[in-house]
Structure 1
Amino acid sequence: MNLIDRYLVTSLIIWVVATIESIGGLAGFWSITGNERFVILSIESAVLFALLANCYAMKNWVYRHSTETSHRVIAWITLVALALCVCGDVVNFNLPQTYYRYGGIVKHDYLADSVTFFGPGYALFLTVACWLVIANDIKPKILFIWGGIGSLVGVASFYSMHLSGTGSHVSIVTGSYAVLITLVGISGFILFTAFRNSVIKLGVCLVSIGLVLAAVADGVIGQFWIYGNGGEGFFPEAKYVNWSLYIGSQCLLIHIGRLAVWRKKGCYNSVS
C-alpha cells in the first residue's frame, strides 16, 4: 500500500508555501496591509490555483481507477466544492478594500459575503463525508444525533463571540455558517470512527484531520477576525493564522474523492 504519492506530496508543498507566508507575516517580514499586498495576494492566488490543479488531477485519478458512477460523481463534487471555496477566498481578499458594509460594529463584515461560496462548498464536503460514513454501515440516525449535538455546539460558539448591535445580515449569515462549519468538524471525528479498523485508516485519518482543521480555521475567523477586538478584528494576525490552517485543511480535504475508490478496493493504489 502506498498512500504517499505525488498528489499528497503536492498538497504538502502547497501547505508549506502557505505556512511560510503566514509565518513571515506574523514575524513582521512582510504585511498584507503594507506595500507587499499585491505580491502576497499574487502568491495566495497561485496557491489556490495549485490547489485546484491538484484537485483536478485527483478527479482524473478517480476516473482512471474506477468506472463506478458514484465515485466519479464524488470526484466532481469535490472539485466543485473546492472551486466554490476558492471563490470565497477571492471575496476575502477584499480587493476594493471596503469596510463596515453592513453597519458600524463589524469592520471586516465583507467576510460574511464569502459565506455565499463557502457555505455551499463545505456543505458539499460534508455531504461526501456523510456518504462515506453511511456507506461504511453507520446508521443515518447516528449522524442525526451527532448533527443535533453539533448544531447546539455551533449555536453556542456563535453566541460566545457575537457582538450586540451587529446587523441582522451579518448575524444571520455568520450564525448559520457557524452551525454548518461545526458539523463539518464533527464529521471528521465520525468519519475516522467509522473507518478506525479499516485498511485505509491512514488515508481516512488525513481527510478527517482536514475536516476538523476546516472548522478550526473558520473558528479563528469568527472569534478573532470578524468579532474579535470589539469588531475591529485582530488583523492581519488572524488572517495569517487562518491562512495556514485553511490551506492545510483544503490540502487534505481534496483527497476525499479518492477514499471512495480506496474503500471499494480495500487498499491504497500506487499510481504514476
Structure 2
Amino acid sequence: MRLEAVTDQNFCEADYLIANPDVRAAVEKGILASGRRHFQQHGYREKRHQRAPLIFFVHVPKTAGSTVNSHLKELLPDGSPHSEEWFYDDASMHLLDTLSWVSGHIAYSWANSRIPQFTNRRVEYFTCVRDPTDRVRSHYNWLIEIFHRDGHDDNPDWVKSMSEQIRNSGYSIPAIQANLLEYRWHFLNCQTLFLARDIEPMAGAFGSFKFVATPERLTDLLYTMTGKEVSLARRENESPHHFDPQLFREPEMESFLRRHNALDEQLFEFARSGKLSNPTEASTSPPWRARAHVLALRTKRRLAHW
C-alpha cells in the first residue's frame, strides 16, 4: 500500500483509518470520535501516514504510455497496466481499493464516471500527450506493424479488418487520408477524446489532471506520480517504419491534419504551456471551443481494446 504524509489540507478519513488500524479499532469501539480527531490530537505529532490516492494513468495510444507503464511496474509493483481488460466489468472494480495505480486505454470521462460508483477513494489523474502529427503517423504505422508480429490473431476482428484495409490500400497520401477519415474515431482528435471531461467533448473542456506530460517531461511525470527519480529506458514497443514517415510532413498532409485534427493540435499547444496540469484551470476554463464529431458510445468500446 502506497502511503503519504498527512496534513490538515490532504487529510482523508477513510485513507487515514486504512493506514492506521489501531486508530480504526479505537473509532469502531467508540474510544475515539473519528480519525480526524486522532490526527488533530496525536497523529500529527506521531507523523502518521494515510493511504495515498489512487494513481490513474490515462494511456492515450502512441504517446509513450508503454514507457510510463514499464517504469511504474518497477517503482510501484502493486499496479495494473492495460486495465481496460477489466475496468468495464463491475465484478472486477473492487481492484480499485487494492492497487496503487491503474493504467489503461480508458478515457478520462469514463474513468471519472465509473470510479465513484465503486469506491470513495481519492484519485489523481495523469496522462501523456504527443505532437499530434507524430501520434497519428505512429498509430497508422502500428496498425500495419501488428500484422508482422506474433499475436496478430489475438487482436479483435475490427482491428484486424482495419489493419488489412490500411495495408491493402497502399501508401499514397490520398489513400492515407481516406483511411484516416474512415477510421477517424481512432486517429483524429484522439487525444482530445481521451482527455475530455465529458463523454462527448462538444466544447473541449478537459478533465482534471494533476500532471499532463509532453515527451520531454516524462521524468517529471514519473517523479510526480511516484516521488522517485528515474532514468528513462528505450520504448519497448517501438516499431519499424512500413512507409516513408515524411509523407505526414508533406504540405498536402499537413493541411489535411490542420483541418481534421485541429482539436489535438490546439490541445498539444495548451499542454506544452503547462496549464493542463492545473486541475482547476483545466476543468473550468477551457482555452478553446470546438466540436469533436465523435460517436462516444461506439468509441468507448473500441478504445477499450487499445
Q: What is the TM-score with the length of structure 1 in the denominator?
A: 0.28
From the two aligned structures, give the one with the greater strand fraction: 2
> Greater helix percent: which structure?
1
Higher relative contact order (CA 8 A, sep 6+): 1
Task: Give the structure with higher Rg (CA).
Answer: 2
